[in-house]
A and B are shown apart, each in its own frame.
Chain A
Amino acid sequence: MPGAQRNLVSESGDFSTHLREQVRAAIDAAAPLAIRGGASKRFLGRALQASELDTRPHRGIVHYDPTELVLTARSGTPLAEVEMALIEHGQMLAFEPPHFGAEATFGGMVAAGVSGPRRPWTGSVRDFVLGCRLIDGEARHMRFGGEVMKNVAGYDVARLMAGSFGCLGLLTEISMKVLPVAPCRRTLRLDIDAGEALRLLAQWANRPLPITGACHDGRALYVRLEGGSGSVEASAARIGGTAAEDAFWLALREQQLPFFGGSSPLWRISLPPATPRIDLPGEVLIDWGGAQRWLRSGADAATIRRMAGEAGGHATLWRGDHAEPFHPLTAPAWTLHRRLKAQLDPARVFNPGRMYADL
């Protein structure tokens, strides 16, 4: 009853009492919930047959002080609203989260744990999580971590939630570290092939260059430099190439480049950064300076996963049809996953089967 829910939104946007009631009811009825924000990342992972719990009424920035480098917002807050508040103060979510739709929420961003082009140089979603509030498998509303940079009291539950696809609890509020936008930015284009690009990227990796983006789209290598004007200009001269549009990075982040437009299955291959060119069966776009490779391929999942695994990485079926889109876990890791799920969500109400069939 999304309509009815909206009527209950308090002026402050604190909808947590109602969220708790929904979780309580689901536990009592042993009826699983499909947690949703903007549904912009619904295509990721496995589809769910469960009644929806909509986080969007629970919204609003709870606290933001630019000098603290911390922003706290409710999980249903539109990601765009958060980014707008940050940019007013010259700050950003440094991991450059993809939206994949105007409705994307702050909570969905954390639950999906997907980071954008800047990730290898500044860190991932979970690296910036400082604290959270969540409703657990017994409908208790709790707080972990906080709004401080350093906090080693107890287990790091807040970071565990990042990328857990809502399978371990319902996030209601998240505190993230934010960073200032760099004063200067340049995008360069080098017309070289992928093998040469990877060779250069490996060379640059251990030099103190202000690189914050490196992508080979199949035709050319795009490099983004961010920092003070002195270092950006000096590095641009050293790297060479021609000036290109900064808009490239937004199109890459949102997967709007022509590469992402086809209809064949899209795979995300996560690899050790210095992995040279591997002969994947299809078209490849290299991002994250080599650590993330997108593959359009109709090859069978087992082959792709074997190749990714042999190179020290893993493969996710990003868009396509497969019973298990995420890379299979090792037996001991699977044991820990199942036990964690059983401990934290004993009634199996939170997105059961969203990541793996039996999780």
Chain B
Amino acid sequence: MNLLYDERLDGALPEIDKHALLTSLRRLLPKVSILHSDEDLRPYECDGLSAYRTVPLLVVLPESAEQIETLLRYCYEQRVPVVARGAGTGLSGGALPLAKGILLSLARLNRILEVNPEACMARVQPGVRNLAISDAASPYGLYYAPDPSSQIACSIGGNVAENAGGVHCLKYGLTVHNVLSVDIVTIEGERLTLGGQALDSPGFDLLALFVGSEGLLGVVVEVTVKLLPRAEAALVLLASFKDVRDAGRAVGAIIGAGVIPGGLEMMDNLSIRAAEDFIHAGYPVDAAAILLCELDGAPADVDADCERVRAVMVRCGATELRVARDENERRQFWAGRKAAFPAVGRISPDYYCMDGTIPKRALPTVLERIDALSREYGLRVANVFHAGDGNLHPLILFDANQPGELDRAEQLGGKILELCVAVGGSITGEHGVGREKINQMCVQFREDELTMFRAIKMAFDERGLLNPGKNIPTLARCAEFGAMHVHQGQLPHPELERF
């Protein structure tokens, strides 16, 4: 199945004369880099979802918010579609360009404008990398909490667009919980601040609405994030289980015991073996599942929580319990988990990463169902899981060179997402809808709800020029595809940890 923009299903786009557009933009924005040759445009043809590629009409690389205001005002008047792009690490094709549109790169707005340790906040431009914020805050004992696995490369503007998560969400929240304000430019070229330096702002919570809107409502030109003091102590427990259901129950029991771990991750046997072969983290290769539980806070509290978690794990049938003795071992325990995706990549020619969320209570059922589906489709599935917040990343193993395997992987993926929706979960916990899951939106939402999403879009972008074809499917698309299958999402940026 081809996921490229389809005017029949996604809406007609205006015809644009590339040469005339280039001439006008050069006159309007004489100091701005505009890429137009095929060779220069090629690097922008995809984001992290590299299976889908489209060469954009032009790439514009502004260096200031004022230039973006001018650009968008022009695009609005001339009805030119615009796709914004941060670092291009997104896994759902949210920054996939349009052949009939401008790709607006925010990479050059990459300055940290202010780090204020007294107010515990940092004001940054959208192209600043996630990790660079924590690095800049580090001398003050502060950090920026959301840590998507691509944090070394991904930009804060992209994090806002996707409402990025990470492994510490249960305790420290998503992007929406850690951003104080966002300056946006609307498609009409109007700059405004959503949120503020205070803890709330008058009127509707447009900041909450904007975070995670995938570039459909406006372009981020500045972000103020909240910084947190680093925890004084952190400790990791590794627990082995001979039955995945026991591990699943332990997750609920830990939280039921009143402990909120900084991170609570689960891996099944296939992922354990793959990770151990690759990283030699010391994982128990015979275990059906392991739980990695990180506890952080004041040293005395961490020790007390550790005892509680130990007792719960034992009660839930943990066959082995280890506590990282020092920082080295802690890193080693995490290393296996963080390398799980590339590790699985070593045992299979191809794999396809899913991103569903489920209520934790459904975990045993969902794992059993995935196992049954795996046998039914004749494809192995390795499960790694942000267990604490119910975010499942099943990795479907296949070989694209074997006839029919890719199709089967896509079908199996679709079944898994439908299963997540059926147990009360979601088709995406942190990777976003983008282009990748545009059809699954028709499974998650009913026509009425999609209509409401479109009404919101109308309030911000009546002409539908910002990132058309992403996030919210048209009714025409849903009518045609209804309950659809999932498509291959290849994992680019192999240098990044994925978890």
Given contacts A152-B429, A153-B445, A228-B304, A270 and B458 within 8 Å (CB-CB)? no
- The segment out of B126-134, B209-217, B402-410 that lies at the interface is B209-217
Give the distance to chain B from A36, nearest Cβ to Cβ, in Å: 20
Are A65 and B163 closer than 8 Å at their CB atoms?
no
Q: 1/0 contact trace for B177-200 toward A, CB 8 Å?
A: 100000000100011111011111
Given contacts A136-B452, A148-B429, A206 and B120 within 8 Å (CB-CB)? yes
- Which B residues from 37 to 55 make CB contacts under 8 A with A? none
For B, the interface residue count at a CB cutoff of 8 angstroms equals 96
- Which A residues from 229 to 282 make CB contacts under 8 A with B? 229-231, 234-235, 270-274
Given contacts A148-B429, A155-B453, A272 and B119 within 8 Å (CB-CB)? yes
A168: interface (CB < 8 Å): yes
Q: CA of A339 to CA of B201 in the docked complex: distance in angstroms?
A: 19
Q: CA of A234 to CA of B303 in the docked complex: distance in angstroms?
A: 14
Are B297 and A228 closer than 8 Å at their CB atoms?
yes
Are A231 and B300 closer than 8 Å at their CB atoms?
yes
B384: interface (CB < 8 Å): no
Q: 1/0 contact trace for A317-359 toward B, CB 8 Å?
A: 0000000001111101101110110111000000000011000
Q: CA of A16 to CA of B260 in the docked complex: distance in angstroms?
A: 35
B428: interface (CB < 8 Å): yes
A70: interface (CB < 8 Å): yes
Are A163 and B456 closer than 8 Å at their CB atoms?
no
Are B301 and A231 closer than 8 Å at their CB atoms?
yes
Are A227 and B260 closer than 8 Å at their CB atoms?
no
Are A333 and B192 closer than 8 Å at their CB atoms?
yes
Given contacts A152-B212, A183-B258, A355-B203, A147 and B359 within 8 Å (CB-CB)? yes
Q: CA of A328 to CA of B119 in the docked complex: distance in angstroms?
A: 25
For A, the interface residue count at a CB cutoff of 8 angstroms equals 84
Are A180 and B428 closer than 8 Å at their CB atoms?
no
Given contacts A124-B199, A234-B298, A273-B119, A148 and B359 within 8 Å (CB-CB)? yes
B391: interface (CB < 8 Å): yes
Are A160 and B209 closer than 8 Å at their CB atoms?
yes
Which residues does B use to contact A, with CB under 8 Å? 116-120, 140-142, 162-163, 165, 169-170, 173-174, 176-177, 186, 190-194, 196-206, 208-209, 211-213, 217, 227, 229-232, 252-253, 255-256, 258-260, 297-301, 303-305, 357-361, 386, 389-391, 424-433, 437, 441, 444-446, 448-449, 451-453, 455-456, 458-460, 471-472
| Sample of 30 A–B contacts (CB below 8 Å) | A65-B359, A67-B255, A67-B361, A68-B361, A120-B199, A143-B449, A144-B449, A146-B424, A147-B359, A148-B424, A149-B357, A150-B165, A150-B389, A150-B390, A151-B426, A152-B428, A152-B432, A154-B445, A154-B471, A156-B176, A160-B205, A179-B260, A228-B298, A234-B298, A270-B200, A327-B202, A330-B192, A332-B186, A343-B455, A343-B456
Which residues does A use to contact B, with CB under 8 Å? 65-70, 90, 113, 119-120, 123-124, 126-127, 136, 140, 142-144, 146-157, 159-160, 162-164, 167-168, 179-181, 183, 202, 205-208, 210, 227-231, 234-235, 270-274, 288, 291-292, 312-314, 316, 326-330, 332-333, 335-337, 339-340, 342-344, 355-356
